[in-house]
Structure 1
C-alpha cells in the first residue's frame, strides 16, 4: 500500500494534526509532517475519528438478500464511517451453528468494505427453548463472542440463566432484546396518549423494563456479562444505572432513532416510523440522551434493519418493523449529542468506536488515533448540512425515517487498515 498523509485534521475534534498512514498502520501523528510519494488528503476543519463500530447490524444474508446482503450492508457501513459491524443472527437459516456464522464471516472477508463479526443465536432457531451451539460458534473460525436472539426476547429465565453461565466460561456476552412477549401481544407502537388516540395496540415501557430488571439480577447471580440491546425508556435507564451502581456487569446501547424521534410521528401512519422497540415519548428521548452523555448507556448502535419496499410501503398494521441506520447514524448523533453540547467528539469516538469494540472484542478496532495503531479511521466534515436522500444510499433498502430531513455532518473518507473504502463521499 502507498502512504497516505491526512493533513490538518482535528483529531477527535481537538487540535489540528497531520496523520501519516503507512500500509495498514498509523506511522506518525504530529504537525508539519511530510512523506515522499504520499497521497495527501487536505482535511483542515474536518474531524478525524477512529473507525466506527456497530454492535447491532442486520445484514439479512443468508435468506433475505432482497433486503440486504453482506456486500451491500458493508458498503453502507463504509459510507457511514464504520470499519466493523456485528451481524445479528436472525437470518434464514438462523445463525445458530458454526457453519452459518462462518459463512457470514467469510462473506465479510471477501467483500472487504468493513470487518464483519457474526453474532450467534442464543437459542436454536430463535425459538427460546433450547440453547444453540454457543461453544461451537465461539470455537469456529468466526470466533463468536456475542450471542443474541435479537428480534425476539429470551423470555425464559432458566434459558437466560443457562446462556449467561455458558458464555461466562469463555468471556462471552449475551445481548438481550428486552421485550416481555405477553405484555406486547398485538403491539403496534408505544403505549401512551398517542396510541390511545390512534387506537393502535400499545407496547408498554414495563415490557422492556421488567426483562432488563430480571436479567441484570441474573447476571449478578451468575457473575456474567449481559448487554441490553436498543434500550428505549427512561425507566430502563434507571434500572441500568442502579445495576451499574451495584457492580453488575451490564452494558447498554441506544439507537440513533431513539435519540431523535418520538411517537408523535406515528400520527402520520407512515410505516417508516414503525420499529421495535417503538419510538417513545419526548421524556424518554431526553432521558436517553442524558444517559448516553453520563455513561449509563455505553454505546450507540444502529439496529440497521433493512426491508424491501413492499414490506414497508403498505398499511401500518401489515408493515415490517425496522429502519436502516448505518449511513445516517453519525449525523443523528451529531445533531442530538454534539450540537446540543451533551458530548464532544472524543465522547462520540468513545460511544461509537472504542466501547463497542471493547464490548464485542473487535480486535484492532476502537483504538486511539496514534502511532503504531491500525489505520481504521473516519474523516468527517462536521460543517456540512444537507437533506437525507435515500436514493443515494449504498444499502439495498431505503426504509429511512429521515428522508428529506436536514442533518449535519458528512463522512468523506473511511480507511480500513489503511485501505480507503470511501473517498470524497464515494465508495471505492
Structure 2
C-alpha cells in the first residue's frame, strides 16, 4: 500500500508495500489499537490560501463515501467490528457512524472560512482515537509510495527484455505453496519461457529493477514506444510473504539502516548490477498485472487514491475508508534540494499493503511520476496517527 501501499488496484490491494521494508513489532493485540484521546492534536492548516488543496481533500472524502455506501463496505465493517476483532471497541454501528462522520466533515470543510473555524468545529464535534503505534505509546513509522512512470514496449525487443505478466487463467488451481519468484522467472529474471508464465507477457520493460519496482508499487503508467500511454494495475499475487530487498541489504551490511532511501537503494544496484540476481529472488512473492485502460491508481477499497490525502494501513486493525489525521514530516523541494517539514494533515484510509502490518505502520500515497517517486523514497519518519469519528 509502504510502497506496493502503488498500489494494489483492481482487486485485493497490494499497494502499500514498502521497498525499504521499514518494519516494526505490532503492539500487543490485547491492547485496543485505537484508544480515545483528548482532541488536542494539531489540525490541518493547509486547505486555504495559495496552494491549498481543499478540493483534493473533498474529492478523497467523496471516494471514501462512495466505498462506504457499497455492500462490500457493509460486509467489511461487519467483519471489522465482530466480537474479538479490532473494531469491536466501536460497536456494530460503526459503519453508519463512519458515513455520518465523513458527511459532516465534508460539510465543515466546504463551509468553514478559516483553519481556526474548521479546527474549532472538529474538536467540538468529533472524538479522536490514536493508534497505539508499534511501541504502545503512539509511535507510528511512516513511509511513502507512488505510482511510477516508465518507458515500455508492447513487444519484446533487444532493449525491452523484462516483462510484467498477466494473472494465469488457472491461478486458482495452482498447488500451494506457490512457486517462488526464482521458480517462475529464474535468478536472472529471464527464464520464464520454460514455465508457468510462458505466453502471459503483458508488457516489456527495459530495466529489471524498473519491472521489480512496479511489482513493489502495484501499478504504473507506461509510455509505450509507439507513443501510447498504458496503465497497469495489480491483478493478484502468489502466496509467499513479501521480503524487502532493502532490509536484506541492511542485513548483509551493504547499506547502513540510517542511509536507506529509495535513491540510495537504486544507486547501489546501478553500481552493482550483478547483485540484482542475488537480491531480487529473495523476495519470493510475485505479482501479476492487468491493463487498467487508463484508470487511476486505486487502493484496497477499490477507489482512486489521492496524492498526500490517501494512506495505507493494516485493515485488520484500522477502519477502511476512515477519516484520519497524520502527524509526521514530509519532504518539500527547497532551492533544488529536499527539506523535511512537519505536517499535520487530514487523510482518508483507502489502501493497504503486504508490508503494512500492525498499528505502527502507515504508507502515504504521494502521486504519480518522478517527483512523487523522489518524495516517496525520502519518507522514512516517525509520527502519530489519529482517527476521527463524529460524537454519538
Do both share a fold (TM > 0.5)? no
Shorter-chain TM-score range: under 0.3
Q: State the structure with bigger RCO (CA 8 A, min sep 6), 1 or 2.
A: 2
Question: Which one has a larger percent helix, Structure 1 or Structure 2?
Answer: 1
> Under a length normalisation based on structure 2, what TM-score does the superposition of the two structures give?
0.25
